[in-house]
Structure 1
Amino acid sequence: MKIGQNSGVAIAGAGFSGATVARRLAEAGYRVTVFESRDHVAGNCHTVRDAQTGVMVHEYGPHIFHTNDRAVWDFVSRFTRFETYRHTVVANAGGHTYALPINLGTINQLFKRNFSPAEAKAHLDTLTHACEMPENFEEQALALMGEEIYRTFFEGYTRKQWGCDPTHLPASILKRMPLRFDYNCRYFSHQYEGMPRDGYTALIETMLDHPNIEVVLNTAFSATDAVRWDHVFWTGPIDRFFDYRLGRLGYRTLDFERIYGEGDVQGCAVMNYCDADVPWTRITEHKHFAPWETHKNSVLFREYSRAAGPDDIPFYPIRLVREQDMLRQYVDLAQATSGVTFLGRLGTYRYLDMDVSVREAMDTAEQFLLTQVRDTPLPAFTTAAI
């Protein structure tokens, strides 16, 4: 159905995905209403000044914008000033601290050697377990790095983060953590990396500041509301749209313990705690996410990972065998539902970095505009990745 520019388009969710679609359609002349169940925009990227220290805090855990996609970088840079920020992570394991991702310095420190890049590669080759087709996280790790690196940095942390044995996790999870044979300590290797000067919430607020966009906070959107709109973009959990009729997809959620200190407490933005007997997964010191600011005191969050319950905020889709089977059934339901397009991390039940969410939302908006020209329906999913 062709939608007139004065007709109603609804977007459920005011995170990066929903805000990007809203802005692109608003600039094309469409009137858009964005519904957000929380009392703020930006979803889990929400940032706010801590009242006690004045530090800009990432309320739902740290988010660093990084990408190789120039169009995405140019788009988000329209709505904020990005300051230079280069993310680094420190691992705390066995009473020692190491650089992450695993680099030449980490390898030399762990093995108490002074390897050159070639020597480090040769040494690890003698430790790795040959496996042509790793079937799970542990097999992938042992094939890539061997027993000692895996046991030191990944086994305990993975058990805490995912709440299960690493042999029950897919091998693909480990591809986010490369091995490096140089002394590069940057966590990300993308061309564009930075932090919005005024925080992510201000960025999204500016993105949604358009005369054709109405934002409705503290209002949950549901499938029963969808029938009142010409088209709906759903960025919430796909199973929630269908009122969990096939069951609930599995997610991990995070609990945060806020602690205060004087000066610089841990000397870095993120410290991972790799040992299984330490109950938290990491500690984040938020003043380090804004190195252009100066603060006398500090605020830190300890993070604890656990299975998400019905009333918890979902963070990470689990995507194990049970979830994969259920997801396929929900995808079938979505494809049979007209007038609704699912996108974003929750809407497609995938782990997406922010830049990928923005890219897919940009593409979805463009495909929507093309369907209006051609008078053809927009599919339930505009990406094949689901």
Structure 2
Amino acid sequence: MNILIIGAGFAGSVCARELAESGHQILVVDRRDHIAGNAFDIKDEYGILIHQYGPHIFHTNSERIFNYLSKYTEWYKYEHRVRGVVNGKEYPFPINRDTLNQLYDLNLTEEQATEFYEKVREPKDTVKTSEDVVLNSVGRDLYEKFFLNYTKKQWGLDPSELKAGVAARIPTRTNSDDRYFTDTYQAMPLHGYTTMFENLLNHPNISVKLSTEFKDVLNDDQHFDHIVYTGPIDAFYDFKFGHLPYRSLRFEHEHLENTEQYQSVGTINYPNDFDFTRITEFKHLTGQKHSSTSIVREYPTDAGDPYYPIPRDENEKLFKQYQALANNEEKVTFVGRLAEYRYYNMDQVVGAALNAVDKILGQK
């Protein structure tokens, strides 16, 4: 088959490789001038490997997905740590026993930490919103210190206006584990994400065209037996039912000369101060040695490239209208965060892409 793949991020590149391995001819197009989607990384002018579109930390519990990507990259073992700043002081985040002890000047054991949460939580009979999730788990004071304003900045909405799943992603701990993730496999591509994508797309059956709008390719005379679409599903259908809401980000990159280390951990959250949500220092993530350092600040915004589907009932309802059209397509497969209007982690996108390929090959 001649297959067109729209998007050179995780979903598109994994599909491209697997379908090429099965003997199909693949054309991958992307509107940007580079591969790797939002995972794109590059050395800045000072020689430090930075993530152009904000930090991408790889983690998974899936041995299958970790082994799959291991064919295309070596790994640098890295466990991400985050601190949240409250009243000018840094605390471990997600909230753990040390957070409670430092914040409230206590000396709780694990058992006492469990009792502490039980005492302060506001039980909810039905947990519908992100606010419900956090209040049900850690109570109002911790909610207001760590979650409320961060969520408002990140989503432009109050936590009471967002579905429960947003906050459910962040655990609460009674021990002193200060890792952001607890997945079995936590590592960063040793030579960067872009190199990993170059390896994924390096196959004689794969051609790549960058700075190319998919509509221009579809309007060509070229015939495709199948299309894999990884962009925003509403754009595919010319916004027939209206625009699906997405949250975007603006990135402010900065290089700090003669500063070997800017902050104590990879990412510092600023829930209550400034217009940005967090600062990430890339050398923590990559293990790079350098006499200077590079950081990025993230400013959430409604304008710009779509990053995060906004999890609200009305948005889900609109998506279902587009999904109904997509379900009737016999020669188009929709896969990925934007095409499925779903907040996927990177490993979940890889899994979704592998499943999509199985379906395409099964149809043949």
State the secondary structure of the residue aligned to 1:245. Answer: coil
Matched with 2:17 is 23
Shift of 1:222: 2.6
Amino acid at match of 2:269: N
In the superposition, the TM-score normalised over structure 1's length comes to 0.91
Whole-Å separation in 2 of the counterparts to 1:361 and 1:222? 22
Amino acid at match of 2:232: P
Contact 1:37 1:217 in 2 (8 A): yes
Matched with 1:86 is 79
State the secondary structure of the residue aligned to 2:337. Answer: helix
Question: In the alignment, which of 162, 170, 174 is matched to residue 167 of structure 2?
Answer: 174
State the secondary structure of the residue aligned to 1:233. Answer: strand
Whole-Å separation in 1 of the counterparts to 2:9 and 2:210? 12
Contact 2:130 2:168 in 1 (8 A): no
Shift of 1:195: 0.4
Contact 1:10 1:32 in 2 (8 A): yes
Whole-Å separation in 1 of the counterparts to 2:159 and 2:243? 22
Question: In the alignment, which of 223, 227, 241 is matched to residue 228 of structure 1?
Answer: 223
Q: Deviation per CA, 1:183-233, whole angstroms, max 9, x where unpaired?
A: 111111111110011111110111000001111111111398188311000
State the secondary structure of the residue aligned to 1:222. Answer: helix
Question: In the alignment, which of 129, 148, 169 is matched to residue 141 of structure 2?
Answer: 148
Contact 2:132 2:160 in 1 (8 A): yes
Q: Which runs of 4+ in 1 moved over 2 A?
A: none
Contact 2:249 2:307 in 1 (8 A): yes
- Give the % identical residues: 39
Contact 2:48 2:290 in 1 (8 A): yes
Q: Is 1:349 the equivalent of 2:341?
A: yes
Whole-Å separation in 2 of the counterparts to 1:313 and 1:138? 27
After superposition, where does 1:48-87 map in structure 2 within 5 Å?
A: 48-52=42-46, 54-87=47-80
Shift of 1:319: 2.7
Amino acid at match of 1:349: Y
Question: In the alignment, which of 198, 211, 215 is matched to residue 205 of structure 1?
Answer: 198
In the superposition, the TM-score normalised over structure 2's length comes to 0.96
Whole-Å separation in 1 of the counterparts to 2:73 and 2:130? 38
Whole-Å separation in 2 of the counterparts to 1:94 and 1:371? 58
Q: Is 1:283 the equivalent of 2:279?
A: yes
Amino acid at match of 2:347: D
Whole-Å separation in 2 of the counterparts to 1:134 and 1:72? 32
Matched with 1:358 is 350
Contact 1:344 1:357 in 2 (8 A): yes
Amino acid at match of 1:280: F
What's the RMSD between the two structures over aligned residues? 1.3
Q: Mark the runs of 5 or more structure 2 residues left unpaired by the alignment.
A: none
State the secondary structure of the residue aligned to 2:322. Answer: helix
Contact 1:136 1:167 in 2 (8 A): yes
